[in-house]
Every structure is written in structure tokens, then in C-alpha cells.
Amino acid sequence: MSEEILNKITSHRPTNFKIIEQDSKEIYVYCALDVLLYAALTCNDIIVETTLSGENTRFKLDANSELILSFINPHDAEKLPPSYNTPSTICPYSRFFTNLEEFESWRNTLPEEIRHLVIPISVKEALFIIKRYVISSLDNG
């Protein structure tokens, strides 16, 4: 089950979300949520390279991160327009931010009908949710 999920969230082409593992292996995923999912499934410490505050940035992903994640409840995914470049309609709206002001500024650029679906949560909270989801799906899968 976890191998199937990893195959779905990884891209063979470069994306805006690069994961660098401890052995320097580089893996591309489609969005910030996929970064968290990858970390939870592999239980690896990873370095992430993505755009933060308008600049290409590398950071270590861990539960002590102060970053914000733009989050959409998976139950609301059907309310989003189709995404032809990613495996999930949520991915175009899943990003990392350094602070709430940056998140709000970005969210205000989204179409009005989508804005209310995108909420900020801490990376700490998102990791907790993802790990709980991964454990539950692996137990049931």
C-alpha cells in the first residue's frame, strides 16, 4: 500500500517540490502535502527544496518546523477544478509559507469560490494528521 502511494505522489519530471534524502537521492513530488506524505511513509529525515518567500529555499522537514501549510480538507477536493498536471486536485493549492501574512497574500490571489476551502495549518499539525492517516490506511490496507 505505501509503495503504491509513493508511486502516485512522485514525479519523473522536476516539480517545485524536491526532496533530498540522506543519501543525496533527489525525488520530485507534486505539492507540499505530498512532501509530508512522503516523509510519513518513508520515516526518513528529508531536506526539501521549494519556493519560500519568492526564493528557492532548502529546509529540513521535521515536527519542529515553524512553517505554514495551505491545507484543503480531502472531503472538499470534489469542489476544486480538475488538475491536469498533478494526481490530485488539492496539489495546486498545497504549498509551504513562512508566515500567515504570506499565506493570506497568496490565498487572496485564488478564485473567490476556492478561497474559503484553503486554510492555513502548521506543518507540525499537518505532520500529525498525515501520520495518523498513514497509520490508519496501512492498518486497513
What does pLDDT average to over the chain? 86
Is the pLDDT confidence value at 45 over 80?
no
Other Cβ atoms less than 10 A from the Cβ of 77: the count is 15
The DSSP line for 72-90 is --GGGGGGSPP-SSSSSSS
Residue 119 pairs in a beta bridge with 71
Which has more pLDDT, 138 or 87?
87
CATH number of 2-140: 3.30.450.410
Q: Where are the beta strands (DSSP E) in the chain?
A: 10-11, 17-20, 26-29, 46-52, 55-61, 68-71, 96-97, 119-122
What do you get for the CA distance between the two ends of the chain, in Å? 6
The whole-model pTM stands at: 0.86
**Domain ranges (residues) in the chain:** 2-140
What does the pLDDT average to over 112-140?
82
- The number of residues in the chain equals 141
CA distances from 84 to 54, 81, 112 (A): 24, 10, 21
**Confidence class for position 140, pLDDT limits 50, 70, 90:** low
